[in-house]
Amino acid sequence: MKPMKTDSRLSRREFLKAGAMTVAAAGVAACAKNPVTGQSQFMLVSEEQEIQMDRQASPQQLSNDYGTTLDTSLNGYVSGVGRSLADVSHRPQMPYNFHVVNANYVNAYAFPGGTVACTRGILLNVDNEAEMAALLGHEIGHVNARHTASRMSSQMVIGGLASLGGAAIGAKYGGTWGTVAGGLGGLGAGLLLASYSRDDERQADALGLEYMTRADYNPEGMVGLMEMLNEQHTREPSALEVMFATHPMSSERLATARQTVNKKYYGARKYAFYRERYMDNTVDLRKLGPAIRDMQDAEKLGGEKKYAEAQDKMGQALKLAPNDYTGLLLMSKLLIAQEKYNAALPYAEHARDVYPAEPQASQVAGVLQLKAKKYDQALASFEAYDKALPGNPYVGFYKGYAQEGMGHRRDAAEAYYKFLQKVNKGEQAQHAYNRLVEWGYVR
């Protein structure tokens, strides 16, 4: 089997079957030494493939969560804590990177190559740096134990990864109302973030405790984190729906953490929580707290299709934080859900101006500009999106549609032809093919 190149993008087929090629070529099971246990483990996904799949899928997921925070000080602080934990982990050589993402829901996740993200929604509920270290350590634990790669290897044998290409869990990411421009979803992000088993969670808990105490954090931070999550879930289950889907939580895990701290890490309770340092570094985020909570309420109402009430709540949030990227895009999506496209466009354009490097606003603005027949602006929006997140074939279709609207038949035909080389089913493919036939490029 030829080694997978790390400097080139994988096709969808390669992405979904990375490692399965090993089975087809060799016809035998592969084993690798687990970096945590040291024991032989059934594994068809190499470390190189873990990193490549991460690099391909994580940018889309980060964008679905409204991008990495513009608060560079906060992101640097979280990254520093994450790096200190990664350095004492079983796989310090992995290319870890840490992100505070602008999503309001309560969650944290890790991709197999070392990309770790936590939402601003969960950081609002964390009380001190030790609890945050527990959160990040848990996610680093999943990377170190190779939980995603192990699950993928098993699925390759059971039925092939192609059967997971439409993993339903992917739809839970990226906002209540899903992707506005149908077909612009990320490649495989849902697959890589599908739920862990309870055994995986227990092991990640244990590793999180190990790493945080190695880095001199009080292990009671893990207990505090789990108490917070369990209390929130009891009080308002919907607030943690996504996190509990991907990270099964139970009172048993909380009890185990308490027992482990009291027995194995009793002496480590002398370490600090660093609450004051956490409060100092999250002061700007906590100032946004009231607006974020209004947005959380609006998203919940939107999910219940109570759009008028949701719009009122989002309006309250934007009065408190008029230039909040997430709030602006959520308001645009709420208006789109009500088919108020003209009203939705200024919010999407404002969001793009607030955070020009983050592509989701360009995507939403581009679709709305097409509806408004502002084809030149739509083309510019999709070109900006494609530059930030290259490789999505549907962007090529929308660029072709904009060229068609401007009367640039040749450019539109070229875009449609390239699109059809990658996608040959669906409404967009039918439109592209019909135009090529109508214009005489296909007979």
- pLDDT tens-digit readout, 98-133: 999 999 999 999 999 999 999 999 999 999 999 999
Question: How far is Cα 64 from Cα 406, in angstroms, rounded to an integer?
Answer: 30
- Which of 172-176, 381-385, 436-440 is predicted with the least confidence, judged by mean pLDDT? 172-176
| Chain mean pLDDT for the chain | 85
Supply the pLDDT for residue 34: 85
Question: How far is Cα 244 from Cα 247, in angstroms, rounded to an integer?
Answer: 5
Cα atoms in the 13 Å half-sphere on the side-chain side of 249: 21
Do 399 and 426 contact (CB within 8 A), yes or no?
no
Supply the pLDDT for residue 28: 43
- Which of 13-22, 94-103, 232-241, 390-399 is predicted with the least confidence, judged by mean pLDDT? 13-22
What is the model's pTM? 0.85
**Average pLDDT value for residue range 89-99:** 98
Q: What is the per-residue pLDDT across 25-74, written as a single tens digit (0 to 9) for each?
A: 433 457 788 888 888 887 888 999 999 999 998 999 999 999 999 999 99
Q: What is the per-residue pLDDT across 152-202, written as a single tens digit (0 to 9) for each?
A: 877 665 554 333 322 222 223 333 344 344 445 444 455 667 678 888 999
Identity of the highest mean pLDDT range in 18-27, 322-331, 387-396: 322-331
Supply the pLDDT for residue 153: 76
Q: 191-228 burial by CB neighbour count: b if 16+ within 10 A, else e? A: bbbbebeeebbbbbbbbbbbbbbebebbbbbbbbbbbb
**Average pLDDT value for residue range 254-279:** 96
Instruction: Sort residue 67 into left (φ over 0), alpha (ψ -120 to 50) or beta.
Output: left
402 band by pLDDT with thresholds 50, 70 and 90: very high
- Which of 81-90, 243-252, 312-321, 373-382 is predicted with the least confidence, judged by mean pLDDT? 243-252
Supply the pLDDT for residue 194: 64
Question: How far is Cα 133 from Cα 128, in angstroms, rounded to an integer?
Answer: 9
234 band by pLDDT with thresholds 50, 70 and 90: confident
Q: 379-394 burial by CB neighbour count: b if 16+ within 10 A, else e? A: bbbbebbbebbebbbb
- Give how far Cα 402 sits from Cα of 221, 261, 397, 416, Å: 53, 60, 9, 11
CB atoms within 10 A of CB 359: 27
Question: How far is Cα 344 from Cα 333, in angstroms, rounded to an integer?
Answer: 7
Q: Percentage of residues in the chain with pLDDT exceeding 70? A: 81
Q: What is the per-residue pLDDT across 351-378, written as a single tens digit (0 to 9) for each?
A: 999 999 999 999 999 999 999 999 999 9
Question: How far is Cα 292 from Cα 120, in angstroms, rounded to an integer?
Answer: 9
Q: Which two tokens stand for residue 2?
A: 């030829």
> Residue 3: pLDDT above 50?
no
| Main-chain dihedrals φ then ψ at residue 101, nearest 5 degrees | -100, 155
Supply the pLDDT for residue 6: 39
Supply the pLDDT for residue 205: 95
Question: How far is Cα 170 from Cα 149, in angstroms, rounded to an integer?
Answer: 17
